[in-house]
Amino acid sequence: MREKAASLKVAVKEMDYESEAEKKMIHNEIAVMKYIYQIVQKSARSSFIHIVQPLGFFLNEEGDKVYIVMEYCSQGDLRKYINVMKGKGVKISPAKAYDFLGQIAVSLNQLHCNGIIHSDIKPENILLTEDFKVKLSDFGVARQQQKGNEYLTQNGGTFLYQAPEYLYSALDNEISPQIIKTIQTIASDIWAFGVTMFELLAQNHPFFDNKEGEDLQMFELIHRIVNSQPAALPDQYPLNLKNIIKRMQEKDPSRRITAEQILNIHEVAGSLNEK
């Protein structure tokens, strides 16, 4: 879509706008997007903001659909990037992997330094600009941290990227993780970041391969995430790179590496300085 007055190419997200619950959710998402962008913009150390900019919204004539207008990222999302590599039969280079690792770490650090948890980090929510700079999107379940650096979430995040500390109760009680309330911290974002980076390098989830994923039962996957170690990353990648991702997938959230610590690693800092 192209906005006529400014000739600005934008992205438009269509959502249902009928029930009171839908309206409340949409207005909350719009408010959260604006709030987060403004907070990060004020505190960012560089001029580049790693958050998709919200530009406004409008309703259709019937009033049952809402269209959220956002900054357009021409290279699509990281899922598309991974799928293109799969289609070509190629793997990401270590240099490019460090590049994405550093950019996503900066993105999360911009949030975490302001007490904001994204709660739904996954390849589909990591967008890429024309020159492959990272922008985080979809803040529908994002929350600001409460006292004690933690908050309660329900229906927050995407199941395949949820941290083991979130899934313990689901496994013990054999109920869907979507109805469990639990405490989440910034460490939950780091876990999802680690799963995303694993997929970027290995082109499959760390706890199942592409073939068995279609038939894998939910509680079997939860059991693996909670109790098993992730698969090994391909041998072609440097040990230091694999160790960073391993530290993001530490089962104990108190021992999980932070975005700030990732940015202080020599190879990561070097990849950012090259830009």
- The set of catalytic residues is 120
DSSP one-letter string for 157-210: S-GGG--HHHHHHHHHHT--GGG--EEE-HHHHHHHHHHHHHHHHHSS-TTS-T
Name the one residue in this structure whose structure tokens are 């280079």: 93
First to last CA, the chain: 30
What is the C-alpha to C-alpha distance for residues 275 and 272, in angstroms, rounded to an integer? Answer: 6
Picking from 19, 144, 15, 105, the residue whose alpha carbon sits closest to that of residue 68 is 15
How long, in residues, is the chain? 275
* Cα atoms found within 13 Å of the Cα of residue 103, Cβ hemisphere only: 24
Amino acid at 13: K
Close Cβ partners of 172 (under 8 Å, ≥ 6 residues apart):
none
Residue 58, φ and ψ in degrees, nearest 5: -150, 160
When computed from its CA atoms, the radius of gyration of the chain, rounded to whole angstroms, is 19
Q: What is the dihedral of CA 187, 193, 199, 202, to 10 degrees?
A: -80
Question: By the 8 A CB rule, do 127 and 53 touch?
Answer: no
